[in-house]
Amino acid sequence: MGFKMGIVGLPNVGKSTLFNALTKTAAAQAANFPFCTIEPNVGDVAVPDARLDKLAAIAGSKQIIPTRMTFVDIAGLVKGASKGEGLGNQFLANIRETDAIAHVLRCFEDGDVTHVEDRVNPVEDAEIIETELMIADMESIEKRLQGLSRKVRGGEKEAVEQERLLKAALAVLNDGKPARTVDVAADDRRTWNMLQLLTAKPILYVCNVDEGSAATGNAFSDAVAEMAAAQGASTVVISAQIEEEIAQLSDEEATEFLSEMGLEEPGLDRLIQAGYELLSLETYFTVGPKEARAWTIRHGTSAPKAAGVIHGDFEKGFIRAETIAYDDFVTLGGEQPAKEAGKMRAEGKAYTVKDGDVLHFLFNT
């Protein structure tokens, strides 16, 4: 299981350039005019993880299979999108299908690249899109409440739960706050997620800066960081232009180029890491001579649920998980040495998988 992140922003902020770089394709047309992206482009990319390479080298694995992440490049929204302006509601629907939102903000000056609002102010840009999403949510909630009224009067349990949560969301939206500020109880989380409110989705602000500011950020990205901190949101500073250049280089050339730019890793790595933290995701590994593979799970996932990510039968017939911590596997030199050192544990159904665990599942067919 990976996750799907929607890339949103006003026109001409660098969304499609970033998408092209991240997916190393030219599938999204990057052009200097609004609405150059008409259908949402979807890119499936491997999640870089140096731990997987180390495990494969120790185990002599013939194949390395990283976990994957999906980016969706959603066309530029504009003021009035919730009322159908620009390409409007078509794109609001695309956002609903994502797990999280990467909101790309223009944090650079360039007279050759037009801005739909004729100025550069990333904080105001963020407010424009947030407002459109909030308006869309409010309209959606009001329609749903009307549709639920008869079922609620009839005492239908699920309808009553939905009505309560929708009203809680509407209350914060009317107060000018996104739905993600609602304090949702653990028991309500499943129903809440099914509501698919746009402003309930976790958000990551991506500051697209000029090449010279890629390592340190600039005044624009500093303003975004201040705004994000006030919201309890996260930010990542990236130069889409640099990422586009890196995408065309070999691994060796890319490493040298990053060093020259004062960067330790590509923006892709930082974006994925921030996305994982945003959604409380973790990685566990299965390792053997045939393949070394990474698997993505939510933080707090039980061993049977983690097994189910590989195959449903693994979860249904789960017996136990033979578990080695990543550090023990690497330090001791593999599965057998770890086993001999007493570092392989037999964990049952109650075990919560930890990030980096190397697992082997035993199950009944």
The tally of CA atoms less than 13 A away on the side-chain side of residue 359 is: 32
CB atoms within 10 A of CB 253: 12
Pairing of β 100-107 and β 4-8: parallel
Measured distance CA(103)–CA(338) in Å, rounded: 44
Return the pLDDT at 116.
60
| 332 touches 326 (CB < 8 A) | no
Residue 178 is classified by DSSP as -
Return the pLDDT at 90.
62
Coil, strand, or helix at residue 149?
helix
Parts of the chain with a pLDDT under 50: 25-38, 81-82, 85-88
Residue 73: name the closest of 112, 126, 123, 36 by CA. Answer: 36
Measured distance CA(272)–CA(33) in Å, rounded: 28
Residue extents of the structural domains in the chain: 4-278, 300-363
The CATH classification number of 4-278 equals 3.40.50.300
Measured distance CA(317)–CA(307) in Å, rounded: 10
Return the pLDDT at 78.
58
User: Positive or negative CA dihedral for 248, 254, 257, 262?
Assistant: positive
Measured distance CA(220)–CA(226) in Å, rounded: 10
> Tokens at residue 226, please?
């201040």
CATH number 3.10.20.30 is the correct assignment for the domain at 300-363 = yes
Return the pLDDT at 79.
60
Return the pLDDT at 88.
47
Measured distance CA(362)–CA(155) in Å, rounded: 45
Instruction: Provide the residue type at 68 as one letter.
Output: R
pLDDT digits (tens, 9 = 90+) for 14-59: 888 888 887 774 344 344 444 344 455 788 888 888 999 999 999 9
337 Cβ neighbours under 8 A, 6+ residues apart: none
> Tokens at residue 3, please?
């996750």
Residue 289: name the closest of 67, 47, 46, 64 by CA. Answer: 64
Measured distance CA(291)–CA(330) in Å, rounded: 16
| Edge-to-edge strands, sheet with 358-363 | 63-65, 291-298, 281-287, 358-363, 318-324, 345-347
User: Which positions make up the binding site for ATP?
Assistant: 12-17
- For residue 226, the Cα-to-chain-centroid distance in whole angstroms is 21
Return the pLDDT at 30.
44
pTM: 0.82
User: Which positions make up the binding site?
Assistant: 12-17
Residue 123: name the closest of 104, 103, 101, 105 by CA. Answer: 105
Angle at alpha carbon of residue 285, lines to 281 and 286, rounded to 5°: 145
Residue 84 is classified by DSSP as T
Measured distance CA(51)–CA(6) in Å, rounded: 27
| 288 touches 56 (CB < 8 A) | no
pLDDT digits (tens, 9 = 90+) for 294-325: 999 999 999 999 999 999 999 999 999 999 99
Return the pLDDT at 354.
96
Pairing of β 68-73 and β 41-46: antiparallel
Question: Which residue in this structure is represented by tokens 């974006």?
Answer: 271
Residue 347: name the closest of 293, 298, 306, 297 by CA. Answer: 306
